[in-house]
Each structure stands twice: as C-alpha cells, then as structure tokens.
C-alpha cells in the first residue's frame, strides 16, 4: 500500500522524467508586448536550438481556456495557405516570417490590433518547446498638448490622452518636477478612456505631459515650449531705458562741447582778422599824413 510520502515522491520522479525526456523542454515565459490600438503587434517565438523549422510544426493559440486558433504551420502549409480552422477573429490579420523559418524563428505579426486581441498567447512546438507571451492592446498614443489661453503673465495648458486601461496623467517641468494641477476629467466611450488635464503656468519653460499605464508597462509623453513674448519685450524695454537715456545725454554733451570749441576757434579767427585789418588801416593813415606834411 502506498503512503503519502511515496506517492509524492513518485509524482516528483515522473515530473523530472517528463522534463528531461529527449527533445522536450519546459515552457518558458517570454514577457509581454504593448501596442496602441490599430498598430501591428509582433509576438516573438524562436526554437531554442535555432534549427531550421521549415519542415516542422508550430502552433499559436490564444487564451489557455478558450484555445483560440491564431496561427498553425505544418511543414510549409499554414492558415490561408492550404490549412483551415483559424479563429474568425484572426482571419486575414496574422502572418509569419517565411524567410526567418530557417533560423528557428516562429514569430507572428497581428495586423491592425483590436482591444479583443488582448490576452495570453502560447507558441507551441509539439514535443519540443512551449513559450508564452501576453499582448496588451490599448497603449496610449502620444498625448495631445496645446495652450488654450495666453496672457503676458500666465498660460493655460491642455493635455488630452486616451487609452486602455485608464492612463494616469501628470504635468512636469524641464527639471522633472511634478506640477500641481486640477483634477483630471475622465470619460469612457466604447471601452476606451479619455483623460483631460489642464494646468496654469507662469514662467517660460518646457512643460511635459506624461501618460502612464502601469499595468501594461507603458509610458509616453509630449512636450510643449511656453514663453511670454510681451513680458520679454517689456523686460527688455525696461532694462534698456536707462542706457538709452545715458546715450542721448552723452551725445548732447558731445555736441555742446564740439559747438563750444568751434565757437572759440571761430572767434579767435575773427579777432585775428579784425586786428590785422585795423593795423593795415592805421599804416595807410600814417602814410597819408606824411604825404600831407
């Protein structure tokens, strides 16, 4: 009669034998892929030995419970090329990389992803290797940012983000500091979240709107440069006014000095010329007097 310990030991032994049987490897987790809705998604899968798989079989399934047929390859034949049975959700949207088969690459591409494509996928090499990957569809695209009201003292900025799951939205300055803002406005439509966040800024800087979806390991941002031209022009004018006044006074003083020098010079020349004329007249008068005598 088997006791509990003996039964447990036999189960462990059986598991070890299965895992070490030639040609069979344990299932491995390959991670996740995150895309925005409508983008293409590449789900990676490669045979660990990197051997040519053109004459092998590999199978892609979605969700362990439902086992949806995503892509099936059998020695050169596959869905839409000699094989039928693909799940309606994926017909005409899934392809493989034919030229990469010789390197053991069994990755597939899902075109124009939909929210329904979210889930866990398994790549199966019968009696060789299984690998799993999770696809997240709904990653937020780049936030839409713009100033919606400006004055020479402040600016009201708008950030709009959409995605699934609901993204967390925040504003940051160029130093990476999170800026205080009002409560975000959140709406939901067709299983998609729309988030709007506004902020008032009062200084020139680069302001960045950051959208984060932690559960799908996704973060994206958009940056906006804000300046205040009226305030800048006023500051320049206020700063330069004293220098302009000093320059004008300096020019006026220089004109006065030059004028004074010219006046003295002209006067000197005038006086010199008058003295000479008087001296000549005096000589003439004296000569006339001598003649008369």
For the beta carbon of residue 62, count every other beta carbon within 10 angstroms: 23
Q: What is the pLDDT of residue 266?
A: 54
Of 19-23, 32-36, 60-64, 82-86, least confident by mean pLDDT is 19-23
Domains 25-137 and 144-227 fall in the same CATH topology: yes
CA 268, 274, 278, 279 torsion-angle sign? positive
CA 227, CA 241: separation in Å to the nearest integer?
23
pLDDT tens profile 87-131: 999 999 999 999 999 999 999 999 999 999 999 999 999 988 999
Report residue 142 as tokens.
């780049």
Q: Name the residue among 34, 98, 89, 39 with its Cα closest to residue 62.
A: 89
Q: In what order do the strands lie in the sheet with 77-79?
A: 28-35, 129-137, 119-125, 57-62, 68-74, 77-79, 82-83
Q: What is the pLDDT of residue 276?
A: 59
The answer to whether residue 3 scores a pLDDT higher than 90 is no
Considering the four listed CATH numbers 2.60.120.10, 2.60.40.10, 3.30.200.20, 1.20.910.10, the one that applies to the domain covering 25-137 is: 2.60.40.10
Q: Are 143 and 220 in contact (CB under 8 A)?
A: yes
The answer to whether residue 13 scores a pLDDT higher than 70 is no
Distances (CA, A) of 50 to 25, 53, 98, 131, 188: 14, 8, 15, 14, 45
The answer to whether residue 16 scores a pLDDT higher than 50 is no
CA 119, CA 113: separation in Å to the nearest integer?
12
**For the chain, which residues make up each domain, given as ranges?**
25-137, 144-227, 229-281
Q: What is the pLDDT of residue 284?
A: 64
CA 148, CA 254: separation in Å to the nearest integer?
52
Q: Are 35 and 137 in contact (CB under 8 A)?
A: yes
Q: What is the pLDDT of residue 20?
A: 36
Report residue 147 as tokens.
């100033």
Report residue 47 as tokens.
């045979």
User: Can you tell me the mean pLDDT for 255-264?
Assistant: 66
The answer to whether residue 203 scores a pLDDT higher than 60 is yes
The answer to whether residue 145 scores a pLDDT higher than 90 is yes
Residue 86's pLDDT band, with cuts at 50, 70 and 90, is very high
User: Can you tell me the mean pLDDT for 141-146?
Assistant: 96
With a CB cutoff of 8 Å and minimum separation 6, the contacts of 143 are: 159, 160, 161, 169, 209, 210, 211, 220, 221, 222
Q: What is the pLDDT of residue 195?
A: 98
CA 180, CA 8: separation in Å to the nearest integer?
59
Domain 144-227 has CATH 3.40.50.720: no
């Amino acid at each position: 009669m088997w006791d509990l310990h003996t039964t447990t030991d036999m189960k462990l032994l059986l598991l070890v034998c299965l895992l070490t049987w030639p040609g069979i490897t344990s299932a491995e987790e390959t991670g996740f892929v995150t895309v925005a809705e409508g983008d293409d998604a590449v789900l990676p899968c490669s045979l660990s030995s990197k051997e040519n798989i053109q004459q092998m079989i590999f199978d892609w399934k979605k969700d362990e419970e439902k086992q949806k047929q995503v892509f099936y390859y059998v020695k050169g034949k596959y869905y839409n090329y000699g094989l039928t049975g693909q799940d309606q959700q994926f017909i005409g949207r899934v392809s493989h990389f034919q030229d990469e088969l010789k390197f053991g690459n069994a990755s597939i591409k899902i075109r124009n992803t939909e929210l329904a494509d979210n889930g866990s996928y398994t790549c199966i090499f019968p009696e060789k290797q299984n690998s799993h990957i999770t696809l997240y569809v709904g990653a937020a695209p780049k936030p839409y940012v713009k100033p919606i009201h400006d004055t020479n003292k402040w600016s009201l900025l708008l950030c709009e983000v959409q995605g699934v799951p609901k993204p967390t939205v925040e504003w940051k300055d160029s130093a990476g500091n999170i800026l205080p803002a009002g409560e975000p406005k959140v709406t939901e439509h067709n299983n998609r979240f729309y988030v709007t966040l506004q902020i008032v800024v009062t200084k020139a800087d680069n302001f960045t709107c950051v959208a984060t979806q932690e559960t799908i390991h996704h973060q994206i941002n958009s940056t906006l440069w804000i300046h205040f031209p009226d305030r800048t022009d006023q500051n320049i004018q206020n700063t330069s006014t004293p220098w302009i006044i000093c320059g004008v006074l300096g020019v006026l003083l220089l004109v006065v000095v030059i004028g004074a020098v010219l006046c003295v010079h002209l006067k000197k020349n005038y006086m010199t010329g008058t003295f000479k004329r008087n001296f000549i007249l005096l000589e003439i008068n004296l000569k006339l007097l001598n003649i008369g005598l």
